[in-house]
Chains A and B, each alone.
Chain A
């Protein structure tokens, strides 16, 4: 099984801040990495797939990068609607998710 980790587990930030979340895989998965946003009581929403491709309708302040085993999700200027939990997912071999990063209001 490919294991996924994320850091930090919780991130406190303010509106307008640049935010970066890191995801690491136990083996190389490039480019098969996706990012999701989840709000309480809702299903995850796909933001980015194939490391850096923005899903249709997702604001351009979201971006993804990385290679090999280390990947990042960046929010260039945090907006009120962005306070949520973010998950990474590898789909190189079956599918496994990271434990999540909770982005909360500072």
Chain B
């Protein structure tokens, strides 16, 4: 059974960098596209980025200047870094799996709430 688990700080200060990791279990990280999606307080879902096992990554145009992703295939993990955060970045952050670069997401993590506040 495929399982995704997000981890990282639940509180980040304004102007600092939000860092999250998603641990994949039950399937190899190879052969899929691993995504970050967030759900803002008004419930709107926003796709942030994907990364593949070879490091091929693509970012949302609206967040591209602040986002980086990385993958560690040996640990079965991929990560998100979002810089210069503001209160508008407060959201539940999910990791999710896709089969292609643009795809529906068939497996999701449980989500982790990240609040941006001083």
**In the complex, are the beta carbons of B108 and A34 less than 8 A apart?**
no
Q: Once the chains are docked, how many angstroms separate the CA of A1 from the CA of B61?
A: 8
Number of A residues near B (Cβ < 8 Å) is 23
Q: In this assembly, does B43 line the interface, its C-beta being within 8 Å of a C-beta of chain A?
A: yes
Pairs across A and B, CB under 8 Å, 14 listed: A1-B62, A32-B102, A43-B108, A43-B111, A44-B94, A45-B108, A46-B106, A55-B106, A89-B104, A91-B103, A91-B104, A93-B102, A94-B60, A94-B102
The reply to whether B104 and A87 form a contact with Cβ atoms under 8 Å apart is no
- Which B residues lie at the A interface, using CB under 8 A? 35, 43-47, 58, 60-62, 94, 96, 102-106, 108-111
Q: Does the CB pair B104–A34 fall under 8 Å?
A: yes
Q: Given A91-B103, A92-B102, A97 and B108 touching (CB < 8 A)?
A: no
Partner of B102, one of A42, A45, A87, A91: A91
Query: For chain B, what secondary structure do more than half of its interface residues adopt (helix, strand, loop), or is it mixed?
Result: loop
A8 to B43, CA, bound (A): 15
Q: Mark A78-99, 1 if CB is under 8 A from B, else 0.
A: 0000000101010111111101
The interface residues of chain B lying within 8 Å CB-to-CB of A43 are 94, 96, 108-111
Q: Is A49 an interface residue (CB 8 A)?
A: yes
From the candidates A42, A46, A92, name the one contacting B105 in the complex (CB within 8 A).
A46
Q: Which residues of A contact B102 (CB under 8 A)?
A: 32, 91-95
